């Protein structure tokens, strides 16, 4: 499978301009033979939506999203947007389209709400995590940025059959670089998941700046052995395309069968015990 990491810059609040930019990026990736194009988190509205007065939310079925997806032809495409959800809810969402058709929507599950991050103020946490059928008769799952800092989600996605873990992100440089360096943390996370869950990890971060936030890029793909097989530069808008062999996942899992030893019944019993003892619902 040929995958394009669409490491793009974003105009905050410039929904129309960002949609057009995405269309051009998709067209370039398809000309290069890409079968899947992955964009960063919230690349259509921009990240700091609390600074914008206009309503930037879209339904997942919005014709503007479908127009971008159709530019991909038969290829898959992941788009990050503010979702106008059911009832009163608004979500930080990533939609997967295949052949111009909406296949899956992931609503970010864990919303940061500290220092300069105010997602819990603007979004509702998503209700569920599912792997989904994708191109080349495979299954994938999406974790949006901070979701990937919850290891149980990658575990659940793997047990649900994911062979590829897609992580669209809007990761900014830390305010405390002496204790937390964004780039090294993300590399540790993605390589750990790839090795322990024996799958491909596709991390796509944006570039550019919004007020005090500096998005650093560094998008990359990790194979099931934990090796980085493609990487975009930092701070530069760029499309990076890589070919991966999905049979590597099955080959790796046959050689060292870690993921089939999950013992879901044991985990279920212990989770219910923790809930009975007053755990977080």
List, for residues 70-106, the tens digit of each pLDDT value. Answer: 999 999 999 999 999 999 999 999 999 999 999 999 9
The domain total for the chain is 1
Structural domain that includes position 10: 2-249
Query: In this predicted structure, what is the pLDDT of residue 174?
Result: 60
Tell me the CATH number at 53: 3.60.110.10
Give me the catalytic one of 35, 108, 119, 210.
108
Does residue 261 lie within any of the structural domains? no
Does residue 127 lie within any of the structural domains? yes
Does residue 278 lie within any of the structural domains? no
Confidence class of residue 180 from pLDDT cuts 50, 70 and 90? confident
Does residue 263 lie within any of the structural domains? no
Percent of the chain having pLDDT more than 90?
90
Active-site residue 41, yes or no?
yes
pLDDT in tens, 29-69: 999 999 999 999 999 999 999 999 999 999 999 999 999 99
Query: In this predicted structure, what is the pLDDT of residue 153?
Result: 98
Does residue 256 lie within any of the structural domains? no
Give me the catalytic one of 41, 83, 210, 231.
41
Strand partners, 134: 138
Does residue 245 lie within any of the structural domains? yes
Confidence class of residue 137 from pLDDT cuts 50, 70 and 90? confident
Does residue 221 lie within any of the structural domains? yes
Does residue 262 lie within any of the structural domains? no
Active-site residue 121, yes or no?
no
Give me the catalytic one of 35, 83, 119, 145.
145
Mean model confidence pLDDT for the chain: 95
């Amino acid at each position: 499978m040929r995958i394009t990491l669409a490491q793009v810059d974003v105009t905050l609040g410039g929904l129309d301009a960002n949609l057009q930019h995405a269309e051009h990026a998709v067209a370039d990736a398809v000309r290069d033979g890409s079968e899947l194009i992955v964009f960063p988190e919230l690349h259509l509205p921009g990240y700091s939506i609390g600074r914008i007065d206009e309503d930037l939310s879209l339904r997942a079925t919005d014709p503007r999203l479908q127009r971008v997806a159709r530019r991909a032809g038969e290829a898959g495409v992941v788009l990050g947007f503010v979702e106008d959800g059911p009832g009163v809810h608004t979500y930080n969402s990533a939609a997967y389209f295949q052949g111009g058709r909406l296949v899956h929507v992931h609503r970010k599950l864990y919303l940061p709400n500290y220092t300069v991050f105010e997602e819990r103020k603007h979004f509702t946490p998503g209700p569920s995590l599912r792997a989904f059928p994708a191109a080349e008769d495979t299954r994938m799952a999406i974790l949006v940025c901070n979701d990937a800092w919850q290891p149980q989600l990658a575990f659940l996605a793997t047990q649900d059959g994911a062979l590829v873990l897609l992580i669209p992100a809007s990761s900014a440089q830390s305010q405390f670089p002496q204790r937390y360096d964004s780039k090294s943390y993300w590399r540790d996370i993605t390589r750990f998941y790839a090795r322990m869950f024996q799958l491909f990890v596709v991390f796509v971060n944006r570039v550019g700046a919004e007020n005090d936030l500096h998005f650093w890029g560094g998008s990359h793909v990790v194979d099931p052995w934990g090796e980085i097989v493609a990487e975009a530069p930092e701070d530069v808008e760029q499309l990076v395309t890589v070919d991966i062999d999905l049979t590597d996942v099955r080959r790796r899992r046959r050689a060292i069968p870690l993921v089939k030893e999950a013992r879901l019944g044991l985990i279920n019993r212990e989770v219910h015990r923790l809930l009975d003892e007053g755990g977080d619902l």
